[in-house]
Chains A and B, each alone.
Chain A
Amino acid sequence: MDGTAKILKFELQDVLRSKWMILYALFFLLLTEGLFRFGGNQSKVILSLMNIVLIIIPLVSIVFGTMYLYHSREFIELLLSQPIERKKIFWGVYSGLAIPLSAGFVLGVSIPSLMYGIHTSQEAGMMGMLIVAGVFLTFIFVALSFSISIRYEDRLKGLGLSILLWFFFAIMYDGIVLILIYTFGDYPLEKAMIGVSLLNPIDIARTLLLLQFDISALMGYTGAVFHKFFAGWTGMIISVVFLMLWVGIPLFSGQRIFNRKDF
């Protein structure tokens, strides 16, 4: 893993030097700061942050990831000419992007929160879950972007596909779910809905966050089923396993292509 570590170190330096990463962290810093300052109560701030986390993080991660890989193509080709295993290069480049992206998010969000104070354990729970969800989404969407940009040589095609994928997961998927619900409304759908929501990483993150924010709404007839699943240990573990699968599957498929690819 020495090679991976070295590449990671270089990538980290490279990424930190680029102003985009600083801007990204600053964006979260200013946003959280502004929300805390003007947004009034704590729970409203965290709720607004949740919407940002669920929409912005996937978008930035997938677009930035795609662009970054196309951009550093020459560097990767240079590395490939060296006696380093391809696997190590891939992991180095991936973690060199995913780690600083999530670090930027975590720092940007947590500094103002710590400054303005998280008062109750409930708020701490919300914030903790928000950060975990944000980090997972970063890793997932960077992995997706890698598997796309490695597969397609054409930058325009790759970028378009990335944005389309984001659009699908962030918006279209829930529309399809709603259509499904209306189509099969006569059947008990609660359990099926849990299954369906596990197939979309943004939905998993959202449902996990719902348990922190809207727990009282989830205590009704239907909500209780969701609550029972996602709040229990098995549900939590299954959710996290699915999130990990969402990181793992695109990453390993990307790596496979990367190993065989003729640059």
Chain B
Amino acid sequence: MKDNFGIRLTGFVLLLIFCFGVSQGYSKDLHVKPDGTMRSIKQALLLSNNGDRIIIYAGRYTEGNIIVDKSVSLIGKDNPVIDGEGKGEIFTVTANDVIIDGLIIQNAGISYVQENAGIRLKEIERCIIRNNKLIRNFFAIYLAKSSDCLIENNEIQSAGTTESSSGNGIHLWSCRKITIKDNTITGHRDGIYFEFVKEGNIIGNVSEHNLRYGLHFMFSDSCMYSKNIFRDNSAGVAVMYTKSVTMTGNTFEHNWGPSSYGILLKDISDSEITKNVFIGNSTGLYIEGSIRMKIKNNEFIRNGWAIKLMANSYANIFSENNFIGNSFDVATNSRSNFSTFQGNYWSAYSGYDLDRDGVGDVPFRPVTLFSIITQQQPASLILLRSFFISILDVAEKMIPVLTPETLMDTKPMMRRIL
């Protein structure tokens, strides 16, 4: 009997503790509906505590600037629309551990004074922004001095017409350890913008039809971007003033225009460019002032210029790349060369392989006389693929007079590298 009571008592106490625990330590859900008891997100935020979930149901919410200053999850059910009506910012997140999931956020106001964003993360940690749709915002997602955040699976679109009246898709300034994954970004100024970011990962995103760069990357050491697609951006991708960047498995496609590049590298050192595909760009890879770059296993297909290598770059190694059907394989601005080309496949190579080891017996000089002529006299581009020019190129290949003597592939491959 006594034992029985003891068991009951402990059971009761445990139950009490459990209930207490639930009410205190476990989060509650707040439901925001256009026709419910709670009609605005601001009101829900006011009533919420850290760790609560705010469920936002379908409807249109126009609440101006919403400041999220508690660690809550904002979760959209059936695509609720948060409309900024073209005035100011929409979400400003100032608390850690915030989750924003499944919302449609549109019309953050264009401003020439402030950088209004659809979602701004301000000096915070551990936030997750995922499955949102951001439409016609000035800036879409803006991270400043934040760390350990995840931006995943968002659809970001805008219809910018001029660079000055259009902001960036995903903008990072002075951040650490941010992962940007599987987003699609179109119609912004720069698709993804990195400035003073450390240890950022950009994976599996599609950035296309942006007004300036698909990815704009500056002063951001130790970052990695892989498996992204950068297509039809009016200036391609720019990576500048950075060291230790890994660029691998990306596709740079159809970046056309007078100053358009697959990748523009300026003052980059000790970085890797591997397994990328460059198709149909005006210039595939533009390299200026870059040191100790490893460029390996890339495909350069049907670009105007596969590589433009400026002579202020040195100790770069180009190996095992495929150069197929480019109008010009390599162009340079000097007779000096301080980089190494070895073991690449060049579709323009016409040498032989007597010992059948798969390596051509005569070196290949990728810089043609004509590429030098077009550097000096751009109008001569109209003679591209002329028979006369082919004769000149062949003559120059026999006895290099104007082309850089040391810029050659001593071990050109006979077959495409798979």
Contact = CB atoms under 8 A, between A and B. Distances in A.
A44 B258 CA distance: 25
Interface stretch (B34-42, B141-149, B184-192, B376-384): B376-384
Contacts of B11: none
Given A44-B347, A171-B391, A224-B258, A218 B304 contact: yes
Interface in B379-403: 379-391
A175 B380 CA distance: 11
A13 interface: no
A51 interface: yes
Interface residues of A, number: 43
A214 B385 contact: yes
Interface in B249-265: 256-258, 260
B133 interface: no
Of the listed residues A170, A175, A193, A220, the one surrounded by the most CB atoms of chain B closer than 10 A to its CB is A220
A181 B258 contact: no
Nearest to B373: A178
Contacts of B378: 220-222
Interface stretch (A68-76, A110-118, A139-147, A205-213): A205-213
A219 B258 contact: yes
A170 B304 CA distance: 24
B260 A217 contact: no
Contact of A171 (B281, B379, B388): B388
A129 interface: no
Contacts of B377: 181-182, 185
A177 interface: yes
A14 interface: no
B382 A226 contact: yes
B276 interface: no
Interface string B15-37: 00000000000000000000000
Of the listed residues B303, B325, B376, the one surrounded by the most CB atoms of chain A closer than 10 A to its CB is B325
A40 B324 CA distance: 11
A217 B387 contact: no
Contacts of B304: 214, 216-220, 223
A240 B288 CA distance: 42
Interface string B94-137: 00000000000000000000000000000000000000000000
Interface in A27-48: 40-41, 43-44, 47
Nearest to B304: A217
Contact of B382 (A47, A172, A207): A207
A153 interface: no
B302 interface: yes
A231 interface: no
Contact of B303 (A54, A178, A206, A216): A216
B387 A222 contact: no
B416 A221 contact: no
B153 to A, nearest CB: 31
A216 B256 contact: yes
Contacts of A216: 256, 280-282, 302-304, 327
A113 B305 CA distance: 28
Contacts of A214: 304, 327, 384-385
B328 interface: yes
A190 interface: yes
A11 interface: no
Of the listed residues A170, A185, A223, the one surrounded by the most CB atoms of chain B closer than 10 A to its CB is A223
A223 B258 CA distance: 8
Contacts of B324: 41, 44
A200 to B, nearest CB: 10
A173 B416 CA distance: 36
A206 B382 CA distance: 9
Contacts of B376: 185
B398 to A, nearest CB: 18
Contacts of B379: 181, 185, 189-190, 193, 222
A15 interface: no
B358 to A, nearest CB: 15
Contact of A55 (B282, B302, B303, B387): B387
Contacts of A226: 381-382
B387 A174 contact: yes
Interface in B355-383: 373, 376-383
Contacts of B416: 40
B381 A217 contact: yes
A172 B389 CA distance: 11
A47 B324 CA distance: 12
A197 interface: yes
A5 B383 CA distance: 41
Interface in A152-205: 170-175, 177-178, 181-182, 185, 189-190, 193-194, 197, 203
Contacts of B256: 216, 219
A168 to B, nearest CB: 11
Contacts of A213: 327, 385
A214 B302 CA distance: 8
B317 to A, nearest CB: 26
A221 B389 CA distance: 21
A47 B256 CA distance: 21
Contacts of B325: 41, 43-44, 47
Contacts of A210: 384-385
Interface in B291-305: 302-305
A178 B390 CA distance: 13
Nearest to A222: B378
18 contacts: A40-B416, A43-B302, A170-B387, A171-B387, A173-B388, A174-B388, A177-B383, A182-B377, A185-B376, A206-B385, A214-B327, A216-B303, A217-B384, A218-B304, A218-B381, A223-B304, A226-B381, A226-B382
Given A171-B391, A216-B304, A223-B304, 12 more contacts: A44-B324, A171-B388, A182-B377, A190-B379, A203-B386, A206-B385, A210-B385, A214-B385, A216-B303, A219-B304, A220-B282, A221-B378
Interface of A: 40-41, 43-44, 47, 50-51, 54-55, 170-175, 177-178, 181-182, 185, 189-190, 193-194, 197, 203, 206-207, 209-210, 213-224, 226
Among all A-B residue pairs, the 5 with the closest Cβ atoms: A217-B304, A217-B327, A174-B388, A222-B378, A189-B379
